[in-house]
Structure 1
Amino acid sequence: MQQRLTTKTTQFKQDFKIEGNIVGKGHSPYIIAELSGNHGGSLDHALKLIDVAARTGVSALKIQTYKPDTITLNHNGPEFVVKEKLWQGRTLYDLYEEAHTPWEWHAALFKQAKINNITLFSSPFDNTAVDLLEDLNCPAYKIASFELTDIGLIKYAASTKKPIIMSTGMATFDEIQEAVAAAADAGGTELVVLHCISGYPTPIADCNLTTLTDLQRKLGVPVGLSDHSLDDTAAIAATALGACVIEKHFKLKGDDSSVDSAFSLDEEQFSRLVTRVKDTHASLGEVNYRLTDSEQDNAPFRRSLYVAKAIKRGEIFTAEHVRSVRPGKGLHPRHLNEVIGQVAAQDVEFGTPLAWEHVVQ
């Protein structure tokens, strides 16, 4: 597997475009607002989510494309029931019935995104979902963490030659390698792998963000973060570590009841995340040892050698006569020991920036 993967991943691009926005290593993060099941079963609510999310400055919005029958079975056996935390006691079928985005809404949602001049794409959960999304000219596909082991789905989505973004929650590294290789086998050339912890919500101590740099090193593809923590701390830190994609769940302000609201950000919170992520990336800049524009005015106030006590021609410079002080119009401080003990070539007044012409050579 390792040899096969190393050969195949050379075909993946380090950056590419999704509807005009550049995604990839070194670029400002592509920020995705995940709408998921926060529409609450209402098309009007879903359309409003798009309108409001588009105002936050995100790069794209994402929905999920499945039906309860394409993701699970209508069965109440123990293995089909969530046993703890956020969705405790609910059957998978019941949960996905509430959370799914009806297929008959999709055309309206894509149209609403175009009205707002923002990219909308989706997570397909089976091949029929990919077919529907292809009919709607979906510009990219997201493979959810729980589907990372569905090699057939990955190959089918990658065969469209659209960009693929895949989350790694719960996956072993071998499983991640297999998923990446599957995308390569199907002819995919545009891929981002998102580090993800599938905890809802994710405690900040579980984020393990240094995994990002390890994924980048081992896979050689652009990496990012699918974040389920409760604020923007992890997103900011991931950006500093090189994440080129940030995905976070979005909800309307005051929504505390929709299926994913507990780990989603509202408009104000998401707008703040967008600003902080972009500022964090901007702060990284490049390796630079030159004066920046903002330093130019202060450069003259660095230290240099000044005459701290008036001296007559022929006198010997001592530590009383010369000091390293601000501003920076005199000799460089490195020359202090060279000057001490030398003879003054002329009278020099207190407060004069020292120059070699003041010293007998």
Structure 2
Amino acid sequence: MGVYIIAEAGVNHNGKLDLAKELCLAAKNAGADCVKFQTWQTEKIITRSVAQADYQADNTGRAESQFDMLKRLELSYDDFRAVKAYCDEIGIQFASTADEPDSLDFLLTLGIPFIKIGSGEIGNIPYLRYMGSKKKPVLLSTGMSSLADVELSLEALRQGGAEDITLLHCTTSYPCPYDRVNLRAMDTLRAAFGLPVGYSDHTEGIAIPTAAVALGAVVIEKHFTLDRHMEGPDHLASTEPEAFRQMVSAIRQVEAGLGCGRKTPSPEERSISEVVLKRVVAARPIPAGTILTADDLTVKRNDRGLSARYWDLVIGTPARRDYAADDAIEL
């Protein structure tokens, strides 16, 4: 299976079912394997007094609490049933991040293919154990965390019973500056834990997720919106359909270009080599029986005769026949 590409619709539906469905269809048309949302009951994940993060306040332009913002963006379980049915209808996988246990239990009734754990749950020991107990494949984002934080969270997941775990390197910044991405941390995660590693992207453009694939990412998740200028906390750090389609195309090209790692000429190269690689030819007329010396021979492109790699084997052997200049030399 190739790199698994997730269009992270997240909360970019702005609390509207019709917009959520539009995001699903746009993600399908852009080439995503999966469209993913976020599912929660606001009263169960946040107190009423918590302020918005700076980027949320900047992007929404609203003087409101996180509670009020999340309540405004919350979709109902019935909405998500409708979204899942629509995804099945158009042929794209549906997934969602559950921000609390009741929503996780609900999503599991919809048959989600994996449990996606957002970076905000790093260190949430009881919930991580609960998610691990569901014995589903897990994608764990690792934003805002150190290696020790990741180790602690993995231990909790495994205590619950999780076995199939993929780590997603992530920098929690919206949008993320390029010099804060630190893609080489993917190598560190892979070496430290021996697990598959992917990348959850918050940068502008498509260069960084494409580069992540070249570094071995098996999953790419990128925020997705219909219009970056819509009102909402995540639109500005998201990718519009055409750019997402270009990213998918670039990823598939890089994926194909990575190959198997074995260094051997391709079939096309073998054909070209027949007329491009140098061969041993006569430098001047040579009578039959002449003991061949370097003065008798040269190397040129030719479509027959011995490869130049056999030069040392030819020197000191008798000419098998009369050779005119530029004739291919035979052993």
| Structure-2-length-normalised TM-score | 0.91
AA matched with 1:167: S
In structure 2, the CA distance between the partners of 1:314 and 1:137, relative to structure 1 (3 Å rule), is: closer
Return the alpha-carbon distance in structure 2 between the equivalents of residues 160 and 106 of structure 1: 20
1:160 alignment partner in structure 2:
134
1:176 alignment partner in structure 2:
150
In structure 2, the CA distance between the partners of 1:332 and 1:294, relative to structure 1 (3 Å rule), is: closer
**Deviation, structure 1 residue 45:** 0.9
Residues 311-350 of structure 1 aligned to structure 2 (within 5 Å): 311-313=286-288, 317=292, 319=294, 321-327=296-302, 329-337=304-312, 339=314, 344-350=319-325
Return the alpha-carbon distance in structure 1 between the equivalents of residues 88 and 96 of structure 2: 15
SS of alignment partner, residue 33 of structure 1: strand
In structure 2, the CA distance between the partners of 1:256 and 1:322, relative to structure 1 (3 Å rule), is: farther
**Deviation, structure 1 residue 71:** 2.0
1:84 alignment partner in structure 2:
54
SS of alignment partner, residue 35 of structure 1: strand
**Deviation, structure 1 residue 91:** 2.3
Q: Which of 16, 30, 33 is equivalent to 1:42?
A: 16
CA contact (8 A) 1:28 1:282 kept: no
Moved more, 89-98 or 108-117: 89-98
Q: Which of 158, 170, 190 is equivalent to 1:196?
A: 170
Q: Percent identity?
A: 29
1:119 aligns with 2:93: yes
In structure 2, the CA distance between the partners of 1:106 and 1:196, relative to structure 1 (3 Å rule), is: same
1:206 aligns with 2:206: no
1:250 aligns with 2:220: no
Q: Which of 260, 263, 282 is equivalent to 1:307?
A: 282
**Deviation, structure 1 residue 104:** 3.2
Q: How many residues align?
A: 326
Return the alpha-carbon distance in structure 2 between the equivalents of residues 120 and 337 of structure 1: 64
| Structure-1-length-normalised TM-score | 0.84
AA matched with 1:46: A
CA contact (8 A) 1:36 1:99 kept: no
Runs (4+) of structure 1 exceeding 4 A deviation are: 314-320, 337-343
**Deviation, structure 1 residue 101:** 3.0
**Deviation, structure 1 residue 338:** 5.4
Return the alpha-carbon distance in structure 1 between the equivalents of residues 192 and 329 of structure 2: 56
2:39 alignment partner in structure 1:
65
Q: Which of 101, 114, 117 is equivalent to 1:143?
A: 117
How big is the alpha-carbon RMSD for the aligned residues of Structure 1 and Structure 2?
A: 2.1
AA matched with 1:127: P
1:55 aligns with 2:10: no
AA matched with 2:42: P
Return the alpha-carbon distance in structure 2 between the equivalents of residues 276 and 327 of structure 1: 38
Return the alpha-carbon distance in structure 2 between the equivalents of residues 96 and 139 of structure 1: 25
Unaligned runs of 5+ in 2: none
Return the alpha-carbon distance in structure 1 between the equivalents of residues 83 and 3 of structure 2: 24
Return the alpha-carbon distance in structure 2 between the equivalents of residues 31 and 338 of structure 1: 54
In structure 2, the CA distance between the partners of 1:278 and 1:136, relative to structure 1 (3 Å rule), is: same
1:102 alignment partner in structure 2:
76
**Deviation, structure 1 residue 255:** 4.5
In structure 2, the CA distance between the partners of 1:188 and 1:337, relative to structure 1 (3 Å rule), is: closer
In structure 2, the CA distance between the partners of 1:118 and 1:83, relative to structure 1 (3 Å rule), is: closer
Return the alpha-carbon distance in structure 2 between the equivalents of residues 150 and 38 of structure 1: 25
**Deviation, structure 1 residue 265:** 1.0
CA contact (8 A) 2:229 2:236 kept: no
In structure 2, the CA distance between the partners of 1:128 and 1:234, relative to structure 1 (3 Å rule), is: same
In structure 2, the CA distance between the partners of 1:338 and 1:297, relative to structure 1 (3 Å rule), is: closer
Return the alpha-carbon distance in structure 2 between the equivalents of residues 144 and 87 of structure 1: 20
1:352 alignment partner in structure 2:
327
CA contact (8 A) 1:40 1:259 kept: no
CA contact (8 A) 1:303 1:327 kept: yes
Return the alpha-carbon distance in structure 2 between the equivalents of residues 283 and 221 of structure 1: 23
AA matched with 1:98: R
1:7 alignment partner in structure 2:
none
AA matched with 2:51: V
In structure 2, the CA distance between the partners of 1:294 and 1:52, relative to structure 1 (3 Å rule), is: same
CA contact (8 A) 2:27 2:241 kept: yes
Return the alpha-carbon distance in structure 1 between the equivalents of residues 302 and 184 of structure 2: 43
AA matched with 1:32: I
CA contact (8 A) 1:303 1:328 kept: no
CA contact (8 A) 1:195 1:223 kept: yes
Residues 255-334 of structure 1 aligned to structure 2 (within 5 Å): 255-301=229-275, 302-313=277-288, 317=292, 319=294, 321-327=296-302, 329-334=304-309
